[in-house]
Amino acid sequence: MSASKPLDYESPHKKSAKKFILKEYIQLTAGPANFSDRVLQALSMQCLNPLSKEMHLMMDEVKAMLQYLFQTTNPLTLVNQTSGSGGNESILTNLLDSGDKLVIAVGGTWGEKVQDMAQRYAIDVLAIRKPPGEIFTLEELEDAVKSHQANLLFVTHGESSGGTLQQLEGIGPMCHKYDCLLAVDAVASMGVDPLYTDRWQLDAVCTASQKAIGSPPGLCLLTFSPRAEKRIKAKKTKSPYYFDMTRQGLYFDCFVDDHSRQYHYTFSSNLLAALREALAQVCEEGLSEVWERHKRNSEYLWKKMGDIGLECFVEKVQNRFHGITCIKIPSGIDQLELLKFVKDKYDIEIAYGHGPTLNKAMRIGLLGQNSRPEVVDYLVQALKDGMEQLIKRGTN
């Protein structure tokens, strides 16, 4: 046989394939948050066969910890290998058919994204909106559900683009009075502010791995009530293959009448192992303690921001989300220059405004292991120094 033909394209690293090393930063953006050493060690393990008994055991452990995290006994509690946005799309496409009626409570970017998703599937959408910094009342939500004869109400719990926390208690029973399901985007809020899936009668809840839970991006975590599971199985049209919860539910052994654990797609054992360790750390600390820690440190942050002349974007304290705080940009200060200074000198990353806070506020995330008073103190020092230096440079 003749020798192999030459390649059409040569590797850009043919002469020198150096190891790529990332500089570490304190991630105080809207996510992802920094990982613990325990999570990093789990990521470095060898991969598992996705159908092995070891993989199934890890899936079972993760499912049990997720039920604790979601505060639910829902059998259909599982992980899908996608982003939080993919989780929201999973909820829409498993609970609704084309032409079904959806009410979306839009409080920022994430509600807008869900509206876009729903319209692509020809779902009949009614979007209701509130000004930045405000949340919906139960009466406003009920009026929308009733007038639109909704099949599903979709609410964002912690709105990371605007820094608000939507109150959920009472919404579930209201929805069920009108034969409407309640779905909650808890991507940013899970492990930060209290959420009780069963107690509050939430039918579908989605979160993601990379926020306060503290594991790498790439996994969405979902739970569906028995009422929602019944709706999923009664759908007239099939859900998108990858997002089909009946198939992924079989893989995670979620159905009492079928324990076949059928393969759906190749699941990353490394991402799942990292998630397992992150969830174990939440369980060891205790969920109530985790919630209280985030509340305590965010309130400490608000006070310290005031001490250096900075103001919260969300004026009503009762409307503030305890995971991500939006801080108004000081008059005359270039936000991008300030964030660059803080990153270059102090190795801290902060997020600029997004959606309702674009060009109005910077977003500071105290999520997971970054929710600590010493982190707040270091951040305040960095911001104070940054503002003083920018003023000296004449950028104000």
Residues at the annotated binding site for substrate? 363
Q: Which amino acid is at 235?
A: K
Close Cβ partners of 148 (under 8 Å, ≥ 6 residues apart): 101, 103, 124, 126
Nearest CA to 230 among 156, 176, 173?
Answer: 176
Q: Encode 339-370: b = buried (16+ Cβ within 10 Å), e = exposed.
A: bebbbeebebebbbbbbbbeebbbbbbbbbbb
Close Cβ partners of 63 (under 8 Å, ≥ 6 residues apart): 77, 78, 79, 252, 253, 254
Close Cβ partners of 167 (under 8 Å, ≥ 6 residues apart): 135
Binding-site entries: 363
User: 158 forms bridges with which residues in the sheet?
Assistant: 165
Nearest-angstrom CA–CA distance, 371 and 326:
15
Using an 8 Å Cβ cutoff, are 343 and 161 in contact? no
Burial class (CB in 10 A: 0-12, 13-18, 19+), 56: middle
- 79 alpha-carbon distance from chain centroid: 13
Using an 8 Å Cβ cutoff, are 161 and 188 in contact? no
